[in-house]
Amino acid sequence: AQSVTQPDIHITVSEGASLELRCNYSYGATPYLFWYVQSPGQGLQLLLKYFSGDTLVQGIKGFEAEFKRSQSSFNLRKPSVHWSDAAEYFCAVGATGGSYIPTFGRGTSLIVHP
């Protein structure tokens, strides 16, 4: 079974600074990988996904993520954070064989200081 770890519970950045949120997964093959964002009181919104091909994927809201097989990682990045990016971010991993219902990480809460 697959698993995913988001090692940072909270991340605080200043507005305009760059951002990297970490995600590590465990799976026997190349998994399906996702990043979701949850704003307060809202459901989760898909930011980006990786299935295969180019290991650098672009998403919505100026986010990107890079799949690194050697490190079993799929870190989320943004070059310049806006105050509206403050939210909870979830990494998820899905199996590529059989049921691909993703397993979610425990989330990283992003705090943006003015």
Partner 1 sequence: DTAVSQTPKYLVTQMGNDKSIKCEQNLGHDTMYWYKQDSKKFLKIMFSYNNKELIINETVPNRFSPKSPDKAHLNLHINSLELGDSAVYFCASSQDSPDGYTFGSGTRLTVV
Smallest CA-to-CA distance from 113 within 20, 18, 12 is with 12
Both tokens of 59, joined, read 């998403």
Q: Which of 33, 106, 18 is nearest to 69 (CA)?
A: 33
Considering the rule CB under 8 A, would residue 44 count as an interface residue with partner 1? yes
Q: Does 50 participate in binding partner 1 (rule CB under 8 A)?
A: no
> For partner 1, which is the closer residue by CB, 3 or 80?
3
Figure out which of the listed residues 1, 14, 29, 41 binds partner 1, where binding follows CB under 8 A: 41
**83 belongs to the binding site for partner 1 (CB under 8 A):** no
Residue 8: which residues within 8 A CB-CB, separation 6 or more?
A: 21, 22, 108
Please give the residue ranges that form the binding site for partner 1 (CB under 8 A).
Answer: 32, 34, 36, 38, 41-46, 49, 51, 88, 90, 94, 96, 99-104, 106-107, 109
